[in-house]
Amino acid sequence: MTAFIIRRFLGMIAVLFAVSILVFLIFIIVPGGDPASRIAGKHPTPQNVVNIKKKWGFDKPFYVQYYEMMRKVGTGLLPGNHSQYDVLRSFDDQTNVVHEIKKGMPATFSLTIGAGLIWLFWGVMVGVLSAITAGRWADRMITTVALVGISMPVFWLGIITRYFLAEKPSHPWFPDGGYVPLTASPWEWYKHLILPWFVLAVLFIGFYGRVLRSNILDTINEDYVRTARAKGLTPRRVLAKHVLRNSLIPVVTLFGLDFAAVLGGGAILTETVFELHGVGFYAAERVGALDLPPIMGVTLYGAFFIVLFSAIIDILYAFLDPRIRPA
């Protein structure tokens, strides 16, 4: 077991290394052209471009640039003050990328944790309710609503709910976007987050509901469920103890990965629409300026969470399910 955990974490480090190389390729090699002349502005003097090249290290071979980039990300993570040459900085306004990401984390974490609880609870509810009423009108209604939920662009849903529930002067029921830290005012924090939570959760509720429904309907036809029914157990007990336990496994995997993705800044659209100054918002804001280091930083940060959570899920499964445990 220990060996498995160690191996899984070594694998995680290998994937992160590969991810960082891919990110580096995307940002330094793919754009082509000369990043220095992009930074220098519209009518740079040649000397200016050369200076910028030296300053940012664009004149070095790419493996040196890669090493420098990773070193800067690493130093940025350490506490304390650093000289401006030791941290990953934005091309645009020279701010410290790691610092900006850290600043965005409270908003992103608040959004993720609240929305995650909502979508897990309602996703399971939708799945179970539609499975036990399968074929009846309740099931038709629920599955239709779930299908509409996964067919909506999340940012559009956000804009529309914000317009109808917060912006329209006739009924401003909710505050109009923005994030208030929990420490500043818990009530305001809650009021500002409730719309983003639900908007972000809608897609996942519909999706999990559909997955769970089909899993339950498959499990119900298994022999052990028939045995349980034949023993005289009530349908409710069979559902809770025998069917749900097995049907929930894929949902738990999905939840782990989706939760990690949103924690890693994956809810860019929701954060942007509601002006929650989280990690995703930071990335979206910099896309417009074609400011690559922040997007690179957020991408690495997001990949870290996904890789970490998938390792944790694997290890948890190995604990919970002896069939998966490696010999």
Partner 1 sequence: MAEPATDFTLDTAQVLAEEEHGASIVGRSPWYLAWRRLRRNYIAFIALFVFVVIAVACSLAPIYAHHIAHTAPNATHTEDIVNGKQVLSAPVIGTDAQGNVVVEKAGGVLGPTWWHAHGRFVLGADGLGRDVAVRLLYGGLNSLKIGIGSALICVMVAVLLALLAGFYGGWVDWIITRSFDLIWAFPVLLLAIALGSALSINGFHHFGISISPHSLWIPTLVISYVYVPYVGRPLRGQILSLREKEFIEAAIGQGASPLRIMFSDLLPNVASTALVFFTLIIANNILTEAGLSFLGAGVQPPNPSWGTVIQEGQERIISAPWLTLAPGIAIVLTVLSLNIFGDGLRDALDPRAKVRVEH
| Residues 254-313 interacting with partner 1 (rule: CB under 8 A) | 254, 258, 261-262, 264-266, 268-269, 272, 280, 283-284, 287-288, 290, 292, 295-296, 298-299, 302-303, 306-307, 310
Binder among 5, 15, 125, 165 for partner 1 (CB under 8 A): 15
- SS3 for 6? helix
**Residue whose CB is less far from partner 1, 18 or 117:** 18
CB neighbour burial string for 32-47, b if at least 16 within 10 angstroms, e if fewer: eeebbbbbbeeebeee
When asked if residue 151 is in the footprint of partner 1 (CB under 8 A), the reply is yes
Smallest gap from residue 269 Cβ to partner 1 (A): 5
Footprint (CB under 8 A) of partner 1, residues 219-248: 220-222, 225-226, 229, 235, 238-239
Instruction: In whole angstroms, give the CA distance from residue 276 to residue 268.
Output: 10
CB of 133 to partner 1, least distance (A): 8
90 phi-psi bin (left φ>0, alpha ψ -120 to 50, beta other): beta
Is 111:197 a contact under the CB 8 Å cutoff? yes
Min CB(229)–partner 1 separation in Å: 5
324 lines the binding site for partner 1 (CB under 8 A): no
Q: Which residue spans within 177-300 are E strands per DSSP?
A: none
- Closest approach of Cβ 198 to partner 1, in Å? 17
d(Cα 98, Cα 105) in Å, to the nearest integer? 11
Residue 325 binds to partner 1 (criterion: CB under 8 A): no
- Under rule CB under 8 A, how many of the chain's residues touch partner 1? 78
Tokens found for residue 213: 């429904």
